[in-house]
Amino acid sequence: MMHTPVVASIDQHGLPDQRVMVLREADRDRRLLRFHTDIRSPKVDQIGDGAPVHILAYEADARVQLRMSGLGRVVSDGPEADAAWAESSLFARRCYLAEQGPGSQSGVPTSGLPTQVEGRKPSEDQVAPGRTNFAVLMVRIDCMDWFSLAQAGHRRALVEWEGGVPHGRWLVP
């Protein structure tokens, strides 16, 4: 299962900015991938409402690599974000209680979490304030490059969607 792909955006200097993210949902029919993020994270400004995103996933057992690209959209309010928050575990929601945003400097190694929840399972009431820092990153896939490693010979295919219609072709690996 390709549960933790690398998600790349472009930073303020025009350079690729990559991070491993947990894939929370994949909607094949709508070509949507959903990830969760902290609204204070630099990637939120990088992606906003429609910036290009590239995703690299690899399944070691199947020996399959997927390179996907599409437009990202960060959603912090409304039914999409509310539903994603509600279905997240208490431990997952605890991450959004960090007092400083992701990437903030610290004089000591730290999780950034308040001491009353660090290392403990929090209650619903304890995680509730984290909702203000929570957002979903939705990526609609417009292009997918499928690569299968095989001893007998690798295989590769490219699928691009135009107007919602897929167009695929085989490529030489």
pLDDT digits (tens, 9 = 90+) for 53-99: 999 999 999 999 999 999 999 999 999 999 999 999 999 999 999 99
Cβ(166)–Cβ(159) below 8 Å: yes
Measure Cα distances from 171 to 60, 63, 146, 148 in Å. Answer: 21, 17, 10, 11
Residues 6+ apart with CB under 8 A from 20: 4, 5, 6, 7
Tokens of residue 153, six digits: 């010979």
Tokens of residue 23, six digits: 């894939």
pLDDT digits (tens, 9 = 90+) for 23-32: 999 999 999 9
Share of the chain above pLDDT 70, in %: 99
Can you give the residue ranges of every domain in the chain? 6-57+69-144
Q: Among residues 28, 29, 59, 25, which one has the least CA distance to residue 137? A: 25
User: Phi then psi for 44, rounded to 5 degrees?
Assistant: -65, -45
pTM, full prediction: 0.94
Q: Among residues 70, 90, 164, which one has the least CA distance to residue 130? A: 90
CATH architecture of the domain formed by 6-57+69-144: Roll (2.30)
Q: State how far Cα 3 lies from the chain centre.
A: 10
